[in-house]
Amino acid sequence: MEQLIEKGKYLIREAKNILVFSGAGLSTESGIPDFRSPVGVWTKYDPSDFYFHKIISDEKARAKYWRMSSEMYLDMKDALPNPAHRAIKRLEDQGKLLVVVTQNIDRLHHKAGNSPEKIIEIHGTAFSVSCLSCGKKYDRDEIENRLSAGVKAPDCDDCGGVLKPETISFGQSMPHEKMTLALKHARDCDLCLVLGSSLVVYPAASVPQEASGNGARLIIVNRDETPLDARADSVIRASVTEVMKKMVV
């Protein structure tokens, strides 16, 4: 593994515009459960219950969704950035970071100190809530207080519409502007660094694919195989935090 890390250090040293693409494997090392692992969220809940059309049309499904989402939010709220997050911040401090495109909804890149304008939360964030009808925004803790008081599926104060965390659910359209910007940066970067993503969730996974297809070097740090391993310049199957501590100096 040390040889792979040395190669990664060289590629980072030579790069001028690095796109970091981060997934759940980065957050799990800050104690946040993922979805698909043997102890992940989907061992407790059936993902088919949380398709967007069910959330907006079925109050019972919406209540179940809020119960799951609230459990996840409580794990995220007090979570702290790990050494890999801090290594990404060092890339920004060194002037090498073009952008972070993250599948994670936990705001840990913000907590680590990365500039908000350099973070694209491609699957949204759990830290704010909005009305699907009128667009009114709410602070997440305000809604959590309602849930704690016994409300099972909170509605909008202004119009009575459905409230939902500003995250992307199954069957919900991806944010067009964020995807467009992420793909633009993918074409502009000279190195794409994938951290803790299985690269099986599309269209998000098209970002590193686009980077590689446009000539960027590709480093993948993930415990399991990914569909892009064969295209990568370096694949390191190990702890993201342990690798990044050594690879970004």
**Cβ 84 vs Cβ 241: under 8 Å:** yes
The two most distant CA atoms of the chain are separated, in Å, by: 59
Distance CA 204, CA 116 (A): 19
Distances (CA, A) of 175 to 49, 166, 203, 237: 22, 11, 11, 31
Catalytic residues: 123
Tokens of 27: 């957050």
The phi and psi torsions of 23 (rounded to 5 degrees) equal -130, -170
Q: How would you class 219 by CB atoms within 10 Å of its CB: exposed for 0-12, middle for 13-18, buried for 19 or more?
A: buried
Q: Within 10 Å of residue 28's Cβ, how many Cβ atoms?
A: 20
